[in-house]
Amino acid sequence: MSVKSFLSSFFNSSNVTKLVEKDSRIKLKHYEYDEFFEAQVEKIEGEQIKIAIDDVIEREKFRTNDHLVVSFLKSNEVYWADGEIMSIKHGLAVEIILKLKDIKKRENMRKKSRYFVSLSGSIKKDAEEMGRAVIIRDLSFEGLRLDCSSDLDLNSNVYISINLSKNEKCSFKGRVVRKAEFGKSFEYGIEISNIMRQNNIILYDYINKLENAV
């Protein structure tokens, strides 16, 4: 698959204004937190929405350009979106401008068992001792999409460790099958090539939980 077709498969925009309503409640998942946060939509402009969050304890963990997952209800259908923080304003509530890059029905994601996620982790090459930080953007039984500052070669073999929560990790070997450069960072598609039984059970359980998450 070409880089162009790879990116277009993830960034085909839905009409945000038709799906997200002003004053509605949405849920957010950020890779620094295990839990989802609720937020209220205050304004909608094109692909961007302005939201307010009241119950964030460690507010400094939200940063501009961070990627997170957004979920919401529309006509009794659950939708998930791949979001990016464009700006942040701290006050009595945390006000965030989000760009929704892609929106999918949860039911359609279930068909491929591939879900948007916002998880931290690490990646390293065969000869390396120390892993480098990554952010996992979507996850399936076959592979994942991640952001990383390191320049990796296509078809190179890597070791991946994902922080599914503060107390649970999933690790496996993978192969770089897609690559795209965005400024100082890279986006990679990783195919799982070897995963031990216990890690496979952990991954299976986590993805099954995503199938029922709102």
Q: Which residues, in sequence order, are CB contacts of 177 under 8 Å at separation 6+?
A: 143, 154, 155, 189, 190, 191
Q: Mean pLDDT across the stretch 80-90? A: 92
For domain 12-112, which architecture applies? Answer: Roll (2.30)
Per 3-state DSSP, what percentage of the chain is helix, strand, and coil (rounded to 5)?
15, 55, 30
Is there a common fold for 12-112 and 115-210? Answer: no
Q: How far apart are CA 187 and CA 135, in angstroms?
A: 10
Q: How far apart are CA 164 and CA 203, in angstroms?
A: 9
Q: How far apart are CA 140 and CA 110, in angstroms?
A: 10
Q: How far apart are CA 214 and CA 78, in angstroms?
A: 7
Q: How far apart are CA 154 and CA 103, in angstroms?
A: 28
The residues spanned by each domain of the chain are 12-112, 115-210
Q: Which residues, in sequence order, are CB contacts of 9 under 8 Å at separation 6+?
A: none
Residue 102 has pLDDT above 60, yes or no: yes
User: Residue 46 has what pLDDT?
Assistant: 85
Alpha helices per DSSP H over 125-212:
197-210
Superfamily of segment(s) 115-210: predicted glycosyltransferase like domains (2.40.10.220)
User: Residue 106 has what pLDDT?
Assistant: 85
Least confident of 50-59, 98-107, 140-149: 50-59
Residue 118 has pLDDT above 90, yes or no: yes
Tokens matching residue 155:
């078809």
Residue 91 has pLDDT above 50, yes or no: yes
What letter represents residue 9's amino acid? S
Cβ 48 vs Cβ 96: under 8 Å: no
pLDDT range class, residue 187, cuts 50, 70, 90:
very high
β 115-125/67-74 pair status: unpaired
Q: Mean pLDDT across the stretch 52-75? A: 85
Q: pLDDT over 70 for what percent of the chain?
A: 91
- CA 162 → CA 53, 72, 79, 143, distances in Å? 27, 25, 24, 12
